[in-house]
Amino acid sequence: MLKPVKFKTHHGGARDEGLLDFSASLNPYTPPWLHEMFRRARELSSRYLYWEKLEEELSNLIGESIAVTAGITEALYLLGIFTMRGKRRVIIPEHTYGEYERVARIFNAEVVKGPNEPEQLAGLVGRESVVFFCNPNNPDGRYYSPKKLRPLMDAVEDRNALLVLDEAFIDFVKGAKSPEGNNIVKLRTFTKSYGLPGIRVGYVVGFPGAFKSVRMPWSIGSTGYAFLEFVIKDEFRFLKDTMPLIWREKERMEKALDVKSDANYFIKNVGDTRTFTERLKKQGILVRDCSSFGLPEYVRFSVRKREENARLIELFKGSNAEDEKEHAHNGKQEHGVGEGDDVVVVKD
């Protein structure tokens, strides 16, 4: 009678304690008011909470009309209620966050996969379809400016479709701008930028009245409520203080590891991801295997504090040295040079 959904997604984040976690792309710093916030949450936990007033204050602070949700995840499922019933066409880039497809399949939508480039994806947009686009994209961290998104936005507008922009990591992009449009829903979360994935609070920009009409009551709980109080009082000063620290470390990692990203995480081709991730795990470090993104030779890792990043960089370079040594050893055996044989090096 009730059958489980067969499509599964894999999420980052440590399942075991005691690991230095680079697999979850979070702000490595936490707000100075954290302990005070938890005390406030304890005070609030003895009653039902309604956050309409806080929602209005947050809207004023952001400068846009919003609907608060229990993170982006709740917003995705609310979107399913509105947009994906009745075999609605849902367009999803090939290498991106897997929860979009999971939600679409739960609501029995028609899933169409396309390239990650906005201009090419625009060609797949049908009448009244739904398009998911992560900006910056997860897992590669590429950010698309409003100008680069324009072909996709035009296609959505022309065909009365809906563009869902997941901006979970946009706070980490230096100088980022978010596009404006009538047929756009923007999903944002505090989970990443405040380094607190256990606190499920986010918000939606676009059609806020619709989202408010179907969201679950009391979904953010007393901790989420207290968190919003402190975020509003703080006026995003925490982000202004910590983002430059992350950007500085990001530049250092780019140079050290020959990687590039617009966000606070990178992907890197390591060949055998299973061997590589296990090797790092034995050293107490967790990175994300990107197989679930359709990138089986890549791992994703985030920017953390300087001393933590230094440790990861050292292990990456040590791993490369091990691979080169193993490759050289295999090469010798292929050419008939084994252990104990003399190798003559000829110099010009």
Spatial distance between the Cα atoms of 315 and 94, rounded to a whole number of angstroms: 30
Q: How confident is the model at residue 118, as a pLDDT?
A: 96
CATH code for the structural domain at 239-332: 3.90.1150.10
**pLDDT 10s digits, 178-219:** 999 999 999 999 989 999 999 999 999 999 999 999 999 999
CA distances to 54, 80, 327 from 271, in Å: 48, 37, 13
pTM of the predicted structure, to 2 decimals: 0.88
**pLDDT 10s digits, 74-94:** 999 999 998 887 778 999 999
3-class DSSP state of 82 = helix
Q: How confident is the model at residue 87, as a pLDDT?
A: 79
Give the residue from 264, 135, 261 showing the smallest Cα distance to 195.
Answer: 264
SS (H, E, C) 142-182: CCCCHHHHHHHHHHHHHCCCEEEEECCCHHHCCCCCCCCCC
Who contacts 62 (Cβ-Cβ below 8 Å, separation ≥6)?
A: 203, 205
Cβ atoms within 10 Å, residue 337: 13
Residue 7 has pLDDT above 80, yes or no: no
3-class DSSP state of 26 = coil
Give the residue from 172, 209, 173, 202 showing the smallest Cα distance to 186.
Answer: 202
How does DSSP classify residue 111?
Answer: E
Cβ atoms within 10 Å, residue 88: 19
In the predicted model, what is the mean pLDDT of residues 50-55?
Answer: 94
Q: How confident is the model at residue 84, as a pLDDT?
A: 81
Spatial distance between the Cα atoms of 182 and 170, rounded to a whole number of angstroms: 20
Residue 302 has pLDDT above 60, yes or no: yes
Residue 45 has pLDDT above 90, yes or no: yes
Domain boundaries, the chain: 47-236, 239-332
Residue 173 has pLDDT above 50, yes or no: yes
Answer whether CATH 3.50.50.60 is correct for domain 47-236: no
Peptide bond into 118 cis (omega under 30): no
**pLDDT 10s digits, 242-254:** 999 999 999 999 9
**pLDDT 10s digits, 139-172:** 999 999 999 999 999 999 999 999 999 999 999 9
Residue 40 has pLDDT above 50, yes or no: yes
Question: What is the sign of the dihedral through the CA atoms of 282, 287, 292 and 294?
Answer: negative
> Tokens 């324009």 — which residue?
150
Residue 6 has pLDDT above 80, yes or no: no
* Bridge-based pairing state of the strands 184-189 and 162-166: parallel
When pLDDT is cut at 50, 70 and 90, the band that residue 344 belongs to is very low
Q: How confident is the model at residue 265, as a pLDDT?
A: 98
Q: How confident is the model at residue 343, as a pLDDT?
A: 32
3-class DSSP state of 204 = strand
Contact 266, 287 (CB under 8 A): no
Q: How confident is the model at residue 172, as a pLDDT?
A: 98
Q: How confident is the model at residue 335, as a pLDDT?
A: 43
Cβ atoms within 10 Å, residue 131: 30
When pLDDT is cut at 50, 70 and 90, the band that residue 328 belongs to is very low
Spatial distance between the Cα atoms of 42 and 47, rounded to a whole number of angstroms: 10
Residue 294 has pLDDT above 80, yes or no: yes
Contact 115, 94 (CB under 8 A): yes
Transcribe 265-319 into DSSP letters. Answer: EEEEE-S-HHHHHHHHHHTTEE-EEGGGGT-TTEEEEE---HHHHHHHHHHHHHH
Residue 177 has pLDDT above 50, yes or no: yes
When pLDDT is cut at 50, 70 and 90, the band that residue 5 belongs to is confident
